[in-house]
Amino acid sequence: MLSTPHRPGSAIGTGPAEPSRDGGEADEARGRTGRRGWLIAGFALCSALLMALHDRIPNRVGQLGSLVETFLPWAGLSVPVLLVLALVRRSRIAAVAVIAPAVVWGSLFHGVVADKSSGGGDLIVVTHNVDEANPDPEGTARALARSGAHVIALEELSSSSTPVYERELAAAYPYHSVHLGVGLWSTYPLRRTEPVPIMPWTRAVRATVDTPRGPVAVFAAHLASVRVTPLGFATARRNEAGRKLAEAVRAERLPRVVVMGDFNGTTGDPALGALTSPLRSAHSEAGAGFGLTWPASFPLVRIDQILVRGVSPAAAWSLPATGSDHLPVAASLRL
């Protein structure tokens, strides 16, 4: 019997065909892509949970709650980053998961972005950490004098720069009071000016401003600096200063109060709640955008605040950069 010659490529025997090597590699690649997609989705859900539960993060370990609140607006950057990764990996599950942090961020900050100013106001106030290393105090003082403010609070005044501000602001602001690096300048008479000992050295001052619509108690303060260390967010000295300032504000008898300065913290920081909770933030109620103030060259956080009690914010805004590493902030208030 003649046998049929074998042709290349033809099957011999009746057993199952050998799986295609190319097909196996494709399946393996799809599996890897799927795993990566789930990993991206996991990060997206973690980001959403972090933002949604930001006010429940405790401060017991490394002041983590304060650190998260300080940089919370920047958590939104996770959305475009994760979306790009999802597109690169061509993962539908990851792309869908990115919707979660996008929705949470939008629900938290959509009202912040909108312009809430209403115009008008009886009293314009400005606060500015002028930076003791400011190379141009004269220019900074002149810029502040052109701001149109009725009351200006300055922090981080040095022994050498204080006379410069006194000289440059004298014409527009005939009333002023300076106590160990913190000062108030006013177009209206000041009385009952006194230091507020929130730290071993003063760092705060209180005065009654006699406006045409009646007296207003004004506090200018510079809380202690904070540091991010390997052990966490070092805020103990700032927190103690904030509590002492809160006590002084609570004891204030005048019904109309303005508290402003460099707080080295945000109004959402739980460690500063004793100070910020009983007061209203001018920027939150009458500003537009995040109003970030530090560092001036590329602002990352808003740590310079104007808080009020017994008056209504009509508008709040940031002023152009000066020679300082902080931006000045302003508010127009209805008395």
Asked whether residue 12 is domain-assigned, the answer is no
Residues 141 and 41 occupy one common structural domain: no
Which domain covers residue 266, as residue numbers? Answer: 123-334
Note the pLDDT tens digit of each residue in 157-170: 999 999 999 999 99
Measured torsion, CA atoms of residues 307, 309, 315, 318, in degrees rounded to the nearest 10: -10
Q: Is the pLDDT of residue 286 over 90?
A: yes
Are 94 and 88 in contact by the 8 Å Cβ rule? The answer is: no
Residues 140 and 50 occupy one common structural domain: no
Residues 75 and 134 occupy one common structural domain: no
Last residue of a domain, one of 88, 113, 138: 113
Residues 224 and 103 occupy one common structural domain: no
- Report the sign of the C-alpha dihedral through residues 289, 291, 294, 296, in that order: positive
Would you place residue 119 in the very low, low, confident or very high pLDDT band (cuts 50, 70, 90)? confident
Residues 299 and 207 occupy one common structural domain: yes
Cα–Cα dist 105/231, whole Å = 28
CATH number at residue 312: 3.60.10.10
Asked whether residue 319 is domain-assigned, the answer is yes
Give me the mean pLDDT over the 273-300 stretch. Answer: 97
Residues 155 and 241 occupy one common structural domain: yes
pLDDT, position 201? 83
For residue 334, the cross-strand partners are: 312
Instruction: Give the total number of structural domains in the chain.
Output: 2
Residues 239 and 322 occupy one common structural domain: yes
Collapsing DSSP states into helix, strand and coil, what is residue 125? strand
Asked whether residue 8 is domain-assigned, the answer is no
**How many of the other CB atoms lie within 10 Å of CB of 111?**
9
pLDDT, position 205? 98
Cα–Cα dist 317/287, whole Å = 6
pLDDT, position 10? 43
Residues 164 and 291 occupy one common structural domain: yes
Asked whether residue 17 is domain-assigned, the answer is no
Give me the mean pLDDT over the 110-134 stretch. Answer: 95
Asked whether residue 5 is domain-assigned, the answer is no
Note the pLDDT tens digit of each residue in 186-229: 999 999 999 999 998 889 999 999 999 999 999 999 999 999 98
Counting every residue, how long is the chain?
Answer: 335
Would you place residue 16 in the very low, low, confident or very high pLDDT band (cuts 50, 70, 90)? low
Residues 230 and 140 occupy one common structural domain: yes
Asked whether residue 7 is domain-assigned, the answer is no
Q: What is the pTM of this model?
A: 0.88
Asked whether residue 9 is domain-assigned, the answer is no
Residues 73 and 146 occupy one common structural domain: no
CA distances from 320 to 112, 264, 293, 296, 333 (A): 20, 20, 10, 9, 20
pLDDT, position 334? 97
Residues 225 and 326 occupy one common structural domain: yes
Would you place residue 120 in the very low, low, confident or very high pLDDT band (cuts 50, 70, 90)? confident
Residues 235 and 277 occupy one common structural domain: yes
Last residue of a domain, one of 78, 113, 148: 113
Last residue of a domain, one of 79, 113, 147: 113
Asked whether residue 211 is domain-assigned, the answer is yes
Note the pLDDT tens digit of each residue in 221-245: 999 999 998 888 999 999 999 999 9
Q: What angle do CA 210, 214, 219 make, to 5 degrees?
A: 55
